[in-house]
Structure 1
Amino acid sequence: MQKVILSQKKLITLLSGLLIVIGYFSRFALGNVAVLEWALIIASVIGIAPIAVQAYQALKVKVVSIDVLVTIAVIGAFLIQNFEESAIVTFLFLFGHYLEQRTLNQTRLAIKELTEMAPEIALVQTDSGEFEEVDIDEVDEGDILLVKTGAKVPVDGTVLSGDGYINEASITGESVPVTKSKDSGVYAGTILENGTIQVRADRVGEETTFGKIIELVEEAQDSKSEAERFIDKFSKYYTPAVLLLSFVVWLISQDIELAITILVLGCPGALVIGVPVSNVAGIGNGARHGVLLKGSEVIHDFSRVDTIVFDKTGTLTVGNPSVAKKAVYGEESDEALNYLASVEKESDHPLAKAILEETKAAQIYPVEETEVVKGGGIVAQVGGHRVAVGNVALMDKEGIELSEKAKEDVQEAETSGNSLVLTAVDGELRVLMGIRDQVRPGVKDDLDQLKDLGVKNLVVLSGDNQGTVDVVASELGLTEAHGHMLPEDKSAHIEKLEKEGQIVAFVGDGVNDSPSLALADIGIAMGSGTDVAIETSDVVLMNSDFSRLPHALGLVKTTANNMIQNIAIAVGVVFVLLASVFFSDWMNMSIGMLVHEGSILVVIFNGMRLLKYRLRGSRKHEEVKHVKTA
């Protein structure tokens, strides 16, 4: 019976409202008071049914809920034959609950959109080489799948053949399609906008990045922050206190209507719902913009961060060394570059790849009589010429004299934090290259935004030499820079900062820095949805997009402020309503319930504003505005 009543709550609300309208129409249009009275009685009886059921279920688990207060108030009003109050209060309470659910569902729309993006079918290659459509649950790791234009990628995998443009907004929050070709990685839930590709399934089902994102966001919605736990505990004692206050007022005043009114006005509905709606909306906004916030507690802690510590390689920098400075001396420079490329092609040195990409040599010569000079470089015979490739020390050893211009270039390159590669051909310096890991484009602007958001200390910790780290720190305007740091050194430094009372967030790649991610107050992973990044950190910036960090910090600060606003609204309304009972003549149960339900909608709509939050001045925001303007 209870289930039937609760399942028909919308119909009961509608009938209750119609009866009240019919009653008042009969009274004022037809002059029939009897119809008004009976309409209000029936509206009160059917309206209280679902409220009373919920009150009974709450009392069974020893909770004095809002429904208990309203039930007692309505029954009291009914018994003293104030049918107008009892009918209007029940209708407003039911109608308010309906509006609550309707608007709350909109705050969860971002999460619903995510789950609806999940692929349901896949084209899997059979033993005969044909492709057959199967349910997504039947796909196994190692299967080869065909993805056509307009279709969703069913798995995390690697492109085996074909090419096309994929919209990765469901994973990275970035709507601009990304080119995919052989050996490119793809994610489940992304959409192939054009082209045809064959993909090897590397991760399937819940193990895909998309599956983990949905799981994390759903868990985050269910988690409770410190503020929510406090409010839950507060409500547990607050509602019985209102009940006791009402009883005391009745004992003193012997005014049953006044006591019943206090029960209605003291309902803490807006207080109970205000914080959760802010959290859900904030988490939803993050999910839509490539920021995974792993729970309400993360929002609270992240909003208080005053120190952010960064790993350098792959976080502040691109992670792939490239040529930042190039100078050539003498004639036939192209030939000298060919000699350099020929030597580097034989080398496994980390800088060789950067040199080969820069030179794009037209011709590769055989390399003979190779001699590796420890701590210096390589000397070899290339195309009948003696070619020395290495640092300044090697040039000195080879007796190669540097011109004034070359010395200036060396000094400038070293000051800029470059690793030097000099090339001499037959005893003459011909090429100088300065190689370093380039700072991510736009990172300086993003760091300035973090400062504007209240971050006082920006620290970089790196395993690189101190000179290179200092150059990056100077270029980006960081507060501190520490080089020669092993993973355990980074963890120790973070621990030191926390002991000094700083609230520390650590930003790393989620692989080598997992101890630091776990130790910091907030661990932020720069990762394209990697397993370690998702599991170790509190926040994940999808697609390693650094520009999402200011958005994430701005979002959690705005969400935390939104919670405070909702608490203030809820407490303020209850205070005003209760004060009005004692110090005014116009307050009654109907007006109180109307204001009470209105306050609930106000905190819900205030929380929903977070769904549209964008950090002003962010690179992403400006890019979107630019595209729209164009």
Structure 2
Amino acid sequence: MGSWRWSVPLLSGLLIVLSFAVPAVSGAGAAGDALMVAAAVVAGWGIVAKAVRALAARVVGIDLLVSVAAIGAVIIGEYWEAAAVTFLFAVGHALENATLSRTRSALAELVAVAPETAVVLRDGEQAEVPAASVAAGETVLVKNGARVPVDGVVLGGTGALDEASITGESIPVEKTTGDQVFAGTVSMGGFLQVRATGVGADTALARIIHRVEEAQDAKARTAAFMDRFSAWYTPAIIVLALVFGLATGDVVLALTLLVIGCPGALVISIPVAIVAGIGRGARDGILIKGGEYLETSAKIDAVALDKTGTLTEGRPYLTDVVPLDETWSRADVLGWAARAEAGSEHPLARPIVAAARAEGLDATGLPEATEPVPGKGIVATVDGRRVAVGNLALLRDEGVPHEAAARVAGELSAAGRTPMIVAVDGRPAGVVAVADRVRPDAARMVAGLHAAGVRRVVMLTGDTRRVAEAVAARVGVDEVRADLMPEDKLAAVRDLQARGYVVAMVGDGVNDAPALATADIGVAMGAAGTGVAIETADIALMKDDLTKLPRAVGLARRTVAVMRQNIAVALGTVGALLAGVLLGGITMAAGMLVHELSVLVVIGNAMRLLRRTGTPRTGGGAARALPEGRDLERSPA
């Protein structure tokens, strides 16, 4: 494909060289003219055909300018000018195609990593089969150095996978039983047995390839404007050339104006930048839906963040165990709480039981009796003793003295924890508390957004204000909106937009769906395993890595800056050349040479986007474990 791309300009260039050489050797000037016309025909045939097809579709494009100028030059005997114009324009087309092909290399790399074969277990035997023939549910073996042929879940074994092709993460990820793996990733060591859950077009890799193809072909608003611009610009240049040609009687001047008016660099200034920007993002694990969303992302000045599962990990952890007097040890309090909660399915039961087991306490078996008390807690019979775990309302119902427990619970609650009081046989034993853990990179992400030019970072959460503000203090957001229902988050996004902000909403796409749809840009986190997120989000961050969000905003801003620079170079070149022609001194061939130089400048500028840049320098350290709130609480203590 690459050699065919350059065959036309190479053949035309060879004919031009021969047109100078043959007369010099043989003295046959007519042969030289014939070779020059042949060079113009070879280079110009495709240009004229494209112009005719465009006219048939009632589109007046840049190719029409070149066609009219070249044909006119041949008619008046300016064979060199005709050959030079078409040759240089053909070179420009070849450069454009070569550059777009190179900037699409991220997609080519993704296609290249798709494995063609898989090793599966069938009837107890290993069999190598085409990857496309693997059925969902089959067991696939992934050995050291092999590419994973399917999406799936690890059934057994351990290993490290290079997931750069999916998430943009260069550090291999350890995998063990229950972990998710993706097609196209590479085993860096170990041996994995994987149950196939997605094959062929139903893999994350296939969805990524499909999305990048669509995104790179999608037009940005600027690109659409450039199409409209060329629709009136081309007739305007033709009319200008006719007016000056008729006024001066100088046909060469008119044809030169036609050629010089061809904004070759302007034609490719936008698409080459869009494709390069989206390609760079794909390599970094950032999928941008199209040029329009890339442009909008560059204008983002407010980011709304869901708390649970975005700023925090979305899983509660045990943070505190406080005995209420010296007759109870930490182990006593945690042990009784864990054994009582062993019979509960409430989300807060799991971190208590897990922490007890981690500390070597007996949390096995089930209570003799379990009585959940909605909104208050749980009452269980453990080894014949009545154990209550819950809030103050539960203690009052049980007739348990609660003054000391209320004071400790209040202190923990004020710190953003969710406290639960433990009582045994009517006596308060202690208080345990759980909290969600703030992601280690949350503070760096918020600082990175500010460094990238985002003016306002807002937390939207259904949690209590006390819990939300505790998290906000750690991560550095500018505004907290708490106690929100999904419709309240939607209203918050609309309020930011009404205040003049271009808003990006980051959420899990479930209870945040209305807000994500309303925001100017919807961002899905950790979308590698979520086909719906890849297809529906305006931006999908393939890895569950918050720092990719400021990287995405920074990439969008750089891409739009390059687009504007390219437009300035292209228009400035055309303006200067037109002035040079009208004032005298700029010939047709010289003008085309300057045009091609401007094309090279535009291409080189866009190629800078393919270089990977670091995330904005940010301050602050890693955030520590912090609280979860109402969406986990049985009820406020």
Same fold? TM cut 0.5: yes
Which stretch of the first structure deviates more once superposed, 536-545 or 588-597? Answer: 536-545
Amino acid at match of 1:542: M
Alpha-carbon distance in 1 for matches of 2:442, 2:217: 34
Alpha-carbon distance in 2 for matches of 1:42, 1:87: 8
| Contact 1:465/1:483 (8 A) holds in 2 | yes
Are 1:472 and 2:468 counterparts? Answer: no
* Match in the other structure for 2:307: 312
Are 1:184 and 2:179 counterparts? Answer: yes
Are 1:232 and 2:231 counterparts? Answer: no
Within a 5 Å distance, the mapping from 1:582-601 to structure 2 comes to 582-585=582-585, 587-601=586-600
Amino acid at match of 1:283: I
Amino acid at match of 2:222: A
Aligned pair partner of 1:274 in 266, 269, 272:
269
> 1:167 and 1:62, CA in 2 relative to 1: closer, same or farther beyond 3 A?
same
Amino acid at match of 2:126: F
| Contact 1:279/1:296 (8 A) holds in 2 | yes
Alpha-carbon distance in 1 for matches of 2:308, 2:579: 60
| Contact 1:400/1:427 (8 A) holds in 2 | no
- 1:204 positional shift: 2.0
- 1:33 positional shift: 6.6
* Match in the other structure for 2:546: 546
| Contact 1:118/1:189 (8 A) holds in 2 | yes
- 1:391 positional shift: 3.7
Are 1:13 and 2:13 counterparts? Answer: no
- 1:357 positional shift: 2.7
| Contact 2:392/2:402 (8 A) holds in 1 | no
Alpha-carbon distance in 2 for matches of 1:299, 1:618: 22
Are 1:481 and 2:480 counterparts? Answer: yes
> 1:372 and 1:58, CA in 2 relative to 1: closer, same or farther beyond 3 A?
closer
* Match in the other structure for 2:49: 53
Contiguous gaps of at least 5 residues in structure 1: 1-5, 624-630
Alpha-carbon distance in 1 for matches of 2:402, 2:410: 17
Amino acid at match of 1:469: A
Q: Give the secondary structure class of the aligned counterpart of 1:224.
A: coil
- 1:415 positional shift: 2.1
Once the two structures are superposed, what CA deviation does each residue of 1:50-82 show, in whole Å capped at 9, x if it has no partner? Answer: 333333333333333333222222232233333
Within a 5 Å distance, the mapping from 1:162-181 to structure 2 comes to 162-181=157-176
Alpha-carbon distance in 1 for matches of 2:565, 2:131: 44
* Match in the other structure for 1:581: 581
Which stretch of the first structure deviates more once superposed, 385-394 or 288-297? Answer: 385-394
Q: Give the secondary structure class of the aligned counterpart of 1:544.
A: coil
Amino acid at match of 2:118: A
Amino acid at match of 1:73: A
Q: Give the secondary structure class of the aligned counterpart of 2:55.
A: helix
Amino acid at match of 1:315: T
| Contact 1:333/1:430 (8 A) holds in 2 | no
| Contact 2:276/2:606 (8 A) holds in 1 | yes
Q: Give the secondary structure class of the aligned counterpart of 1:84.
A: helix
Contiguous gaps of at least 5 residues in structure 2: 623-637
Which stretch of the first structure deviates more once superposed, 531-540 or 423-432? Answer: 423-432
* Match in the other structure for 2:628: none
* Match in the other structure for 1:344: 341
Once the two structures are superposed, what CA deviation does each residue of 1:56-115 show, in whole Å capped at 9, x if it has no partner? Answer: 333333333333222222232233333332332232222222222222211111111112
Within a 5 Å distance, the mapping from 1:524-535 to structure 2 comes to 524-529=523-528, 530-535=530-535
> 1:20 and 1:582, CA in 2 relative to 1: closer, same or farther beyond 3 A?
same
| Contact 2:376/2:391 (8 A) holds in 1 | yes
Within a 5 Å distance, the mapping from 1:421-440 to structure 2 comes to 421-423=420-422, 431-440=430-439
* Match in the other structure for 2:76: 80
| Contact 1:365/1:382 (8 A) holds in 2 | no
| Contact 1:69/1:267 (8 A) holds in 2 | yes
- 1:377 positional shift: 3.8
- 1:219 positional shift: 0.9
Amino acid at match of 1:569: V
Alpha-carbon distance in 2 for matches of 1:489, 1:61: 49
Identity of aligned residues (%): 45
> 1:511 and 1:372, CA in 2 relative to 1: closer, same or farther beyond 3 A?
closer
Which stretch of the first structure deviates more once superposed, 351-360 or 271-280? Answer: 351-360
> 1:580 and 1:495, CA in 2 relative to 1: closer, same or farther beyond 3 A?
same
> 1:162 and 1:7, CA in 2 relative to 1: closer, same or farther beyond 3 A?
closer
Q: Give the secondary structure class of the aligned counterpart of 1:240.
A: helix
Alpha-carbon distance in 2 for matches of 1:465, 1:270: 55
Amino acid at match of 1:351: L
Within a 5 Å distance, the mapping from 1:94-173 to structure 2 comes to 94-126=90-122, 128-173=123-168
Alpha-carbon distance in 2 for matches of 1:100, 1:301: 25
- 1:143 positional shift: 2.4
* Match in the other structure for 2:572: 572
| Contact 2:400/2:428 (8 A) holds in 1 | no
- 1:426 positional shift: 7.1
Q: Give the secondary structure class of the aligned counterpart of 1:165.
A: strand
- 1:305 positional shift: 2.0
Amino acid at match of 1:225: A
- 1:35 positional shift: 6.8
Within a 5 Å distance, the mapping from 1:399-438 to structure 2 comes to 399=401, 402=404, 407=407, 410-423=409-422, 431-438=430-437
Amino acid at match of 2:444: D
* Match in the other structure for 1:503: 502
Q: Give the secondary structure class of the aligned counterpart of 1:399.
A: coil
* Match in the other structure for 1:491: 490
Are 1:209 and 2:211 counterparts? Answer: no
Structure 2 length-normalised TM: 0.88
Alpha-carbon distance in 2 for matches of 1:186, 1:314: 21
Are 1:221 and 2:216 counterparts? Answer: yes
Q: Give the secondary structure class of the aligned counterpart of 1:510.
A: coil
Alpha-carbon distance in 1 for matches of 2:244, 2:415: 77
Q: Give the secondary structure class of the aligned counterpart of 1:145.
A: strand
Count of residues in correspondence between the two structures: 612
Q: Give the secondary structure class of the aligned counterpart of 2:416.
A: coil
Alpha-carbon distance in 1 for matches of 2:364, 2:401: 25
Q: Give the secondary structure class of the aligned counterpart of 2:259.
A: helix
- 1:322 positional shift: 1.0
Once the two structures are superposed, what CA deviation does each residue of 1:572-621 show, in whole Å capped at 9, x if it has no partner? Answer: 11000101112242x1011110111121221122112111142443589x
Q: Give the secondary structure class of the aligned counterpart of 1:56.
A: helix
Alpha-carbon distance in 1 for matches of 2:20, 2:544: 63
* Match in the other structure for 2:191: 196
Alpha-carbon distance in 1 for matches of 2:4, 2:418: 74
| Contact 2:503/2:519 (8 A) holds in 1 | yes
> 1:431 and 1:167, CA in 2 relative to 1: closer, same or farther beyond 3 A?
farther
| Contact 1:336/1:425 (8 A) holds in 2 | no
- 1:348 positional shift: 2.1
Which stretch of the first structure deviates more once superposed, 412-421 or 367-376? Answer: 367-376
Alpha-carbon distance in 2 for matches of 1:612, 1:512: 37
Amino acid at match of 1:566: N
Alpha-carbon distance in 1 for matches of 2:71, 2:232: 23
| Contact 1:419/1:435 (8 A) holds in 2 | yes
| Contact 1:509/1:527 (8 A) holds in 2 | no
Alpha-carbon distance in 2 for matches of 1:528, 1:116: 21
Are 1:357 and 2:358 counterparts? Answer: no
Alpha-carbon distance in 2 for matches of 1:124, 1:568: 57
Q: Give the secondary structure class of the aligned counterpart of 1:445.
A: helix
